[in-house]
Structure 1
């Protein structure tokens, strides 16, 4: 991944954000400035200080890529896979950590949930600290308002997910003292969502449509609009969602990438399809997605096993489901399928990675990982989507950015909002939304027509 102006401040920004947040509200014994850390009283002076603090806000809460997999941050793809995919009928994860969730036995002590709650509020605290102090910096007013808008958008994004997952949550908009933190109460979901919408609507006018390469990864108008669109969809405000997604489409800066295979690896970084990304740097500030997804043959954990139900969701190349298509052969179930299937999932004795054929359960001998069949590779499938054949480094610090919102989501969400609002579904609407995604150059699935029922 190419370094950007923001990227080079990664470590300093992270340390800065942590130091300032921790020191806020603490009185110095002799009112002396600390010599080994940064202080609010001396830091917020220049535009460079503001940029460092902003970088700290963007930073994932773990300081190195080594522990990225354990950091259940909303800006980390491992969190998405474990909490938002492995808890569904799409697949499972090897440690059986989501069993309690799926059995209805989820408790506050479940570590991934605790981590997600904690890391989200850490980021919110960073945002609050930034917004409390940024006005002390003497800098161009338009740049200052733009930075505020970025931080408000990040905070709104995190509060949306908190309300979506937990319903009533503490709505904290300032840095708390210890006493305040110990007496905080949950606010209603309704008030939290109202706050999120108002914050996003206030931020959007102050955000740029595009950014220069050196600032790639910072929040743009399209990213904030896409987050707002998600909120409106979740709230079933269909007309509002339609209007927001149409605004993104009318910006004219996003497109469906011809490549599907490259979207989730380093080759695909900076794609015109990406609205919101979580930035990474190889070795310095990486992630552990390759370690989680790849199997033992390639040095990974094979942490996630897709279900066959997910495999069956991929249509045949005639655009029909496997249960309806005459092209589907149960003896050769992976032939004549949507090309995205084998680009998303490793299939036993078919998929090849780094010139090695993927074979499920290669070490199922009782003397080697005796629990593999029940915990690791028992479904026979493995996640292919994020696996980069060109990468030869440490699997725990892979440097590919994480695309959090893509233009494909915008188009499909716009179509969903139209359907849910009762808008007549025309061929033109289908062609400007779902058929653009299906017609991606590398995929070329047949278009959906008005005669095909969408539900």
Structure 2
């Protein structure tokens, strides 16, 4: 199996020679002093692999319509994002630090005097350009027009520089990626770093985000033509902490407790309360409703959908992403009150299930995950399954890979770009169905293959496919932004189960558990739960709002005060 691991070497180097002279050139950060060894170039470039530089569009309270934390709201979903927002300021600062440091290293590579071989210099230059392109990509997709430079700025220049049109910066980004593609290897034999395929895939992503569908399709096709990547055999297994390598992973940062690179974003909030967690971070009802049934139809059109057993006959990725309960397929003998085995304990939020089965002991145990027993159990009855396994319980860190780009994304980016270009042919259907085939591979169902060539129908399909495939991976937010759907999707309400007395009286006793009726799905794949609330079968948890100006983030107020030439994005 190919290994595409992008390792950060954490070394504290203090070189002392026999005359007790110190080498004062730092080996793990850029410097204006000339590098004198390959290790200095290597350690300088490792700056680009720092985890904070690859932070995703997600937060503890959720920034999209797939993720929520009880009834709490992120500033983005509350519509209160402003120029003093700490996240917006930190991302701005981090990206500019990264760009400045990589520019410095790039100059060192270009001016190195025989320290590196020609091949080493070529590879390192491609790696530096890969990072620079990726960091500029983040800035223009989130902030729009931003200050742009390709050489180190003096202090005076930094206080006077204005903003460059994002379209002009995009062309520079393409140039950086093209250099990386030309200079980076397809793979490495030892420690793994950014590759040709990673540069192609990331070029496709920024082109897709910016609406350059022809460039996105070409870059994605180039990555596919490398024949270097393949989908992981099992969808759910790909995201577990034990899966360290896979042919599907194109660019990612491995996590390791031993190296202090781990996931520690309040993991107990994800865990079931019966496992010692809090069950506070949940998939939304909207996400659950978005998965199609195994006949390929949305839930409001499929005769297979059962609102009393919402996981029954659903796309297998639904059951791999959200902890299921109730009947899952015809003939399994399960009732709506039954749970599933999740980490050796039955999970069900049903109000009458005061105990659940412990598969490790063979005994019944107190059910902490029903609101009948615990009022702060999951507010909507749902919990995340994707990424979570036994290793999350102790200690409260996890070693799941930080996945930035995987092959499924390349396939769907290719398909989406060709659809938007109205260049629909067999390759588009093949790309979509390859992803769907893998999703159904370990289930009792067969992929209801996509066969339509209608552009509008395929646009709906590929967008919903992205939602099913990439849930909880930090990609949904930018998809909503680039599709200009955020003000629709992120305005309205968040939903959960009715209060416990109403659940029993109005939902359980009439036999209407879990959903008392099937929500309608609109032309954008968005479910409407208001009829359930109006019928007393559910409740509103909070109001959400996405004002139009939030399609771009604010320029941090501190920077605007220091440099009046920056101006501010509209609405802030």
How do 1:156-167 and structure 2 match up within 5 A?
156-167=133-144
| Matching residue of 1:55 | 46
CA–CA distance in structure 1, aligned partners of residues 156 and 70 of structure 2: 41
- Structure 1 residue 151, shift from structure 2 partner: 1.7
| Matching residue of 1:381 | 382
- Structure 1 residue 404, shift from structure 2 partner: 1.2
- Structure 1 residue 36, shift from structure 2 partner: 10
Q: Tell me the secondary structure at the aligned position of residue 276 of structure 1.
A: strand
Q: Is the 8 A contact 2:323 2:340 kept in 1?
A: yes
- Tell which structure's C-alpha radius of gyration is larger: 2
| Matching residue of 1:66 | none
| Matching residue of 1:352 | 341
Question: Deviation string for 1:304-348 (max 9, x for gaps)?
Answer: 321111101111112211111111112222111111111101246
**TM-score for both structures, normalised by structure 1:** 0.80
Question: Deviation string for 1:245-296 (max 9, x for gaps)?
Answer: 1111111111122110111123333211111112322242212254553344
Q: Is the 8 A contact 2:251 2:406 kept in 1?
A: yes
Q: Is the 8 A contact 1:318 1:446 kept in 2?
A: yes
- Structure 1 residue 12, shift from structure 2 partner: 3.9
Which residue of 198, 206, 226 maps to 2:183?
A: 206
| Matching residue of 1:141 | 118
Question: Deviation string for 1:355-377 (max 9, x for gaps)?
Answer: 12335593798998x8x47xxx3
The 1:127–1:411 alpha-carbon spacing in structure 2 relative to 1, beyond 3 Å, is same
| Matching residue of 1:243 | 218
- Structure 1 residue 351, shift from structure 2 partner: 4.2
| Matching residue of 2:434 | 436
How do 1:140-289 and structure 2 match up within 5 A?
140-212=117-189, 214-216=190-192, 218-284=193-259, 285-288=261-264
Q: Tell me the secondary structure at the aligned position of residue 121 of structure 1.
A: helix
CA–CA distance in structure 1, aligned partners of residues 96 and 22 of structure 2: 27
The 1:243–1:451 alpha-carbon spacing in structure 2 relative to 1, beyond 3 Å, is closer
Q: Tell me the secondary structure at the aligned position of residue 381 of structure 1.
A: coil
CA–CA distance in structure 2, aligned partners of residues 36 and 53 of structure 1: 11
- Structure 1 residue 208, shift from structure 2 partner: 0.9
Report the count of equivalent residues: 412
Question: Deviation string for 1:386-441 (max 9, x for gaps)?
Answer: 11335665222x22221211111111111111111111344x541x2111111112
| Matching residue of 2:90 | 115
Q: Tell me the secondary structure at the aligned position of residue 252 of structure 2.
A: strand
Q: Tell me the secondary structure at the aligned position of residue 405 of structure 1.
A: strand
The 1:177–1:409 alpha-carbon spacing in structure 2 relative to 1, beyond 3 Å, is same
CA–CA distance in structure 2, aligned partners of residues 393 and 435 of structure 1: 39
Q: Is the 8 A contact 1:200 1:228 kept in 2?
A: yes
| Matching residue of 1:399 | 399
Q: Is the 8 A contact 1:275 1:405 kept in 2?
A: yes
- Structure 1 residue 303, shift from structure 2 partner: 5.5
CA–CA distance in structure 2, aligned partners of residues 384 and 311 of structure 1: 12
**TM-score for both structures, normalised by structure 2:** 0.65
Query: Does 1:89 pair with 2:95?
Result: no
Q: Is the 8 A contact 2:244 2:254 kept in 1?
A: no
| Matching residue of 1:362 | 368
CA–CA distance in structure 2, aligned partners of residues 429 and 123 of structure 1: 36
How do 1:298-317 and structure 2 match up within 5 A?
298-300=275-277, 302=279, 304-317=281-294
Q: Is the 8 A contact 2:304 2:313 kept in 1?
A: yes
Q: By percentage of residues, which structure has more helix?
A: 1
CA–CA distance in structure 1, aligned partners of residues 414 and 311 of structure 2: 31
The 1:242–1:281 alpha-carbon spacing in structure 2 relative to 1, beyond 3 Å, is same
CA–CA distance in structure 2, aligned partners of residues 35 and 410 of structure 1: 44
| Matching residue of 1:449 | 451
- Structure 1 residue 41, shift from structure 2 partner: 6.0
Q: Tell me the secondary structure at the aligned position of residue 199 of structure 1.
A: helix
CA–CA distance in structure 2, aligned partners of residues 400 and 335 of structure 1: 29
- Structure 1 residue 297, shift from structure 2 partner: 4.1
How do 1:66-77 and structure 2 match up within 5 A?
73-76=52-55
